[in-house]
A and B are shown apart, each in its own frame.
Chain A
């Protein structure tokens, strides 16, 4: 089955530690997105990528980094510079230049120890 997979489902970060959230899709989509969701809030865009080896900052990119070395993978690193990382992180993918919907992964809940 085609889809988008996020791992892990739950992740804990210690002070000063960098952690990486995985996102993999086998839908052959060009575009991939990372969103952050705080309790009772909507989704805020962190980074997005339209093509391999290229990505753009979203509205809240500070304290995060990404890479897009392969079409199917778009990992997100939460760095120690992100002082309030506790949130639900959602990865999504879509085909560009079409009317195709955004497909979501099941999310990763990140908490600080």
Chain B
């Protein structure tokens, strides 16, 4: 079976840096997504990692280690609008099943 773990909640200060971790156990790993979701809205795409390493996209970066079953999302220069839930999801198997973790609620303090 599959298992995706991420912290339930995190708090950080405006202008700071925060790292949200995600660990997973799946069969037939094909890739890992990070999505941002504001309350009552659909998730919006942040990143997709297939190979090991760090991918940077503006203030957001995502890292993947397939051997460790580990990923993190790094958010720099935090803004109040970054207060949201961050969802880690894994694409697995020949049938491209996509499974989400329970999400991390990030609170930004002024």
Contact = CB atoms under 8 A, between A and B. Distances in A.
B100 A50 contact: no
B100 A104 contact: no
Nearest to A97: B96
Interface residues of B, number: 23
B105 A40 contact: yes
Interface stretch (B11-19, B42-50, B67-75, B76-84): B42-50
A42 B31 contact: no
B20 interface: no
B98 A50 contact: no
B101 interface: yes
A84 interface: no
Contacts, number: 58
Interface string B22-57: 000000000101010000111111001010000000
Interface residues of A, number: 27
Interface of B: 31, 33, 35, 40-45, 48, 50, 87, 89, 95-103, 105
29 contacts: A31-B96, A35-B100, A40-B105, A41-B102, A42-B101, A43-B89, A43-B103, A44-B100, A48-B96, A48-B97, A48-B98, A50-B95, A50-B96, A56-B97, A59-B99, A90-B42, A92-B98, A94-B96, A97-B96, A99-B31, A99-B48, A99-B50, A101-B33, A101-B45, A102-B98, A106-B41, A106-B42, A107-B41, A107-B42
